[in-house]
Amino acid sequence: YGKPVEFFRRTFLTDGLRDLLLNAVRRFRKVGGDPVVELQTNFGGGKTHSMIALYHLAAGYPPHELPGVEAMLAAAGIEAPPPARTAVLVGQMISPGSVSAHDGLEVRTLWGELAWQLGGAEAYAIVAQADQNRTPPGQALHELISKYSPALILIDEWVAYARSLFSRDDLAGGTFVDQFTFAQALTEAVKGTPGVLLAISIPASESGDDQQTAAGNAEEVGGAHGVEALKRLQNVVRRVADQWRPASADESYHIVRQRLFVAPDAGALAAISATARKFGELYRKHSDEFPREARDLDYEERIKRTYPIHPELFERLYEDWSSLERFQRTRGVLRLMNTVIHQLWVGEDQSPLIMPASVPLATSAVNAELTQYLEDSWKAVIDADVDGPNSEPAKIDKEKPLFGGRSVTKRLARAVFVGAAPTIGTSHKGLEAARVFLGAAVPGDVVGNFHSALTQLGDRATYFYSGSGKYWYDLQANISRRAKDHADRIHKEEVWAEIKRRLESQAKSPGDFAAVHVCPEETGDIADSDEARLVVLHPQLAHRRDKKETNALTFAAKAAEQRGSASRVNRNMVVFLAADEARMEELDRAVRTYLGWKEVLDKQAELDLTENQKNQASEKSKQASETVDSRLLGTYQWALVPQGQPVEVDVTKVEGQAASLAERVSRRLGNDGSLATKQAGAAIRHQLNDHAAALWGDGHVTVGDLWKTYAQYPYMPRLTDRSVLFAGLLESPMLWEQDGFALADGYDPDSKRYRGLVLPSDEQPIQITDQTLIVRPEVAVAQRSAEAPESADGSDAATEALTGIPAEGGGPEPSGEGSEPPRQKKTRFFASKRLSSERYAMDFKNVADEVLAHLASVPDATVKITLEIEATAPDGFDESQARVVSENATTLKFEQSGFEEH
């Protein structure tokens, strides 16, 4: 207020009007002409004269300061008004209890100070007696205002001056009542005198209603005395005054930009447009993550108008922070933004816009500026959970490189605080996720990470809350802290017990296994049966890829050989599943989190939780439980499979999408051929020849003895149970004498003949039991040949029955006319077979053993194998999968390969 002319130049005169008038003056001085024409072109008609007069009056430019003004006015036919006088009275700068000295004059009251500023000693003489007597000047005030017009009178903080006079009559400034008598006389005098403008600042009411005084303003106006002074002053002034309303948000954009930033040049305007366009593209690309209005092109225009401040920051300050007591819409925003901009400048911040997420709350200046409108305890909240080197968001960003590279968690925390802190005491507490993202996201961000960051913040921050799709901070510690504290105190055995409980539910889905054993404490706890069983190891028995010796491998090797103190008989019937050592740490944290929230829910009555906290605990508990289930499936990923003689444990990584661990193991081992649900007859014959030749050295072996061999020795194929062997025995290879066997019900040692002998060519049904005999083909053929009588022409009927080809010497010689032509040779074989998509390895192995091996054994035979693959996915293959398959197909030199688009 020391420079009223400069103040009014900035406040009452827009940049456009000032530049227009200055250009008109320059044009007149340089080339002459009519400046009014130029003004009329822009403003039109009769407004021109009044605008020039207003400019000269309000801006207070004397002729010597702006040469050419008088000449311009004369050319326009306007008489130049006399220079405007000014008087500025600031209640906080004038003491009602002291006397001011002006050139030897003693001035006591506001009316005395007003007269002195308008006209010096001459003007003071008009109200001198009233000033000395400390009584309102009455008619003398009308004479003063009329004589020294045109004039501009500014009175600020009048309430602060008047409240000091409450219940006092011994002060130089007069009495409390005298102030409002003077106010009434002054407003009436100004109203009746042309060319005089009186501006009085009166604190706005908390309710925003200009016609009411809210009691909540007591702190702003200075207690009960201030409220009374404000009320009386409002009653006097508002009878005749033009009511000025606070600047709107759109107007405030311009005020802040004019006060804090220089006007952009052409290059800057182009950069501003590019920035606005990038933000608009971000909002439209992720339209579901941001408020509806942000997707419109109009929002880009708003960004240009408010640049370099994001519109969302203005919205939060003018809509939410301005609702707080003592926060003034224009002055408060200007002070705050001035501090923020300075700190960002000092910190060399490179953000494209100043957003809620850009406000550096950790700096003392910004922290003090914001928290002065809040309770003091908010400072501790900011330091712990919002911003600062040791705050929880900073720790999360440091632990998560995906977040830390762009300080995602810290920016989101700032956006939540700036947007939600002033709403804590309202019914619409909190900020929607879309608003949080709008206040934090900048081009280049992966918006999908924002959800994870907010979840992390909610799990770990003490004062951070979420509910009903909103986020906010509060002064009361949330139940997340209690849940976290309990989670940290949980003993490891409690974590293992919860994991074991969840693993036991996995036993309900055994997959291809006969049963699932969960977390056996000792090897004796694992049944020694002749059915394939999956043993899920205890969480403490984990495996690690890069280690050759682990607790899990040691236990699996011991359990495969022993059951307690005794030797294990069916060593080929157990498969073990172990957890990954690294992922077990993640599972441990997830289980602790779940148990922490479970404890909060179990003690909700004791903790006296609010309904919102109960809902939060229930939701968090559910989320934590789902996380545990998901991580459990990902943690148990190592299948430990006993193989060979002596027994060694092979390690296979198990992955998949099945919800059952046993099903995942079944599919993986099935594809690898380590667990079979089918066994072809030729494969059984192969095992009899290679690994169990001694069993049927006498010509036969019982099915029970063969099954014992399968169950006991890990060098044999691992069948899920004996039914797989039974089904394979009923499959007859085409060349059964080379690749198959015969079956019989029993053997008579006296007659050395087989009872109920059945050859595959008989196509006779047979019921297989453990006592059924598997007979060598040559032995079975010999018995069948001996049992068949010779035919009349000397041919061997048994041989013909077995092979379908007449025996040698039987029948006439095929020679001479009328004889049958020689039989054509089979020189080419072809076939096609569709392999199971789940057990392709086993199916291909069977084809190789039963067909390809025989074809390749023929001398000079050429075997050509072509693999044809066709895969379809209704939802499409993602880019990473398609890239890996295409690259591998090229590496393997596929003749043709590719993906089709539909």
pLDDT tens readout for residues 3-34: 334 443 444 444 455 555 556 555 555 555 55
Per-chain mean pLDDT for the chain: 81
Q: At what angle do helices 581-602 and 611-635 cross, to 10 degrees?
A: 160
Task: Provide the β-strand partners of residue 746.
Answer: 755
- Residue 331's φ and ψ, nearest 5 degrees, are -65, -40
| pLDDT surpasses 80 at 860 | no
Q: Which residues of 507-546 are buried (b: 16+ CB within 10 A; e: fewer)?
A: beebbbbeebbbbbeebeebbbebbbbbbbbbbebbbbee
Task: Provide the β-strand partners of residue 648.
Answer: 643
Q: What is the pLDDT of residue 879?
A: 76
Residue 35 — pLDDT band, cuts 50, 70, 90? low
Q: Point out the least confidently predicted range of 547-551, 575-579, 741-745, 882-886.
A: 882-886
Q: Point out the least confidently predicted range of 154-163, 469-478, 482-491, 798-807.
A: 798-807
User: CA-to-CA distance for 522 and 555, rounded, in angstroms?
Assistant: 9
Q: In angstroms, what CA-CA distances link 273 with 12, 130, 440, 505?
A: 29, 62, 20, 59
Residue 856 — pLDDT band, cuts 50, 70, 90? confident
Rg (CA), the chain: 48
Q: Point out the least confidently predicted range of 324-338, 385-399, 779-793, 872-886.
A: 779-793
Average pLDDT over residues 760-765: 79
pLDDT tens digits, residue range 569-617?
Answer: 999 999 999 999 999 999 999 999 999 999 988 888 888 887 878 888 8
- DSSP 8-class letter at 174: -
Average pLDDT over residues 819-847: 70
User: CA-to-CA distance for 117 and 101, rounded, in angstroms?
Assistant: 13
Of 87, 172, 95, the closest CA to residue 123 belongs to 87
Max avg pLDDT among 219-228, 472-481, 570-579:
570-579
Average pLDDT over residues 856-861: 75
Both structure tokens of 683: 């494969």
Long-range contacts of 458-461 (CB under 8 A, 24+ apart): 458/620, 459/484, 459/593, 459/620, 460/392, 460/395, 460/396, 460/484, 461/384, 461/385, 461/392, 461/393, 461/413
pLDDT tens digits, residue range 418-456?
Answer: 999 888 877 788 899 999 999 999 999 999 899 999 988
Q: Are 322 and 329 in contact (CB under 8 A)?
A: yes
What's the whole-model pTM score?
0.54
Q: What is the pLDDT of residue 25?
A: 55
- Residue 272's φ and ψ, nearest 5 degrees, are -60, -45
Hey, how many other C-beta atoms are within 10 angstroms of the C-beta on 790?
Answer: 12
One-letter amino acid of 791 = S
Helix (H, G, I), strand (E, B) or coil at 378: helix
Q: What is the pLDDT of residue 200?
A: 85
Hey, how many other C-beta atoms are within 10 angstroms of the C-beta on 19?
Answer: 10
User: CA-to-CA distance for 780 and 861, rounded, in angstroms?
Assistant: 31
Q: Point out the least confidently predicted range of 132-146, 354-368, 815-829.
A: 815-829
Q: What is the pLDDT of residue 828?
A: 76
pLDDT tens digits, residue range 254-276?
Answer: 777 777 888 888 888 899 999 99
Q: Are 797 and 788 in contact (CB under 8 A)?
A: yes
Residue corresponding to tokens 């003007």:
123
Q: What is the pLDDT of residue 109?
A: 92
pLDDT tens digits, residue range 391-400?
Answer: 999 999 998 8
Q: In angstroms, what CA-CA distances link 480 with 447, 477, 598, 751?
A: 25, 8, 12, 85
Q: What is the pLDDT of residue 557?
A: 92
Q: What is the pLDDT of residue 143?
A: 92
Q: What is the pLDDT of residue 663?
A: 93
CA dihedral 181, 184, 189, 194 (to 10 degrees): 160
pLDDT tens digits, residue range 808-819?
Answer: 444 444 444 444
pLDDT tens digits, residue range 270-300?
Answer: 999 999 999 999 999 999 999 999 988 899 9
| pLDDT surpasses 70 at 798 | no
One-letter amino acid of 735 = L
Q: In angstroms, what CA-CA distances link 725 with 246, 386, 722?
A: 90, 66, 5
User: CA-to-CA distance for 846 and 445, rounded, in angstroms?
Assistant: 53
Q: What is the pLDDT of residue 811?
A: 43
Both structure tokens of 846: 């069977």
- Residue 719's φ and ψ, nearest 5 degrees, are -95, 150
Q: What is the pLDDT of residue 261?
A: 84
596 vs 847: which has the higher pLDDT:
596
Q: What is the pLDDT of residue 450?
A: 92
Hey, how many other C-beta atoms are within 10 angstroms of the C-beta on 101?
Answer: 9
| pLDDT surpasses 80 at 646 | yes
Both structure tokens of 642: 């006993």
SS3 content of the chain, % helix, strand, coil (to 5): 50, 10, 40
Q: What is the pLDDT of residue 70?
A: 61
Q: Are 348 and 355 in contact (CB under 8 A)?
A: no
Report the Cα 46 to chain-centroid distance in Å.
60
pLDDT tens digits, residue range 488-520?
Answer: 899 999 999 999 999 998 888 899 999 999 999
Degrees, nearest 5: CA angle 647-648-653: 135
Q: In angstroms, what CA-CA distances link 422 with 123, 364, 375, 419, 425?
A: 50, 19, 11, 7, 7
User: CA-to-CA distance for 122 and 108, rounded, in angstroms?
Assistant: 17
Tell me the percentage of the chain whose pLDDT exceeds 90.
30
User: CA-to-CA distance for 400 and 578, rounded, in angstroms?
Assistant: 28
187 Cβ contact partners less than 8 Å away, ≥ 6 residues apart:
198, 236, 237, 239, 240, 241
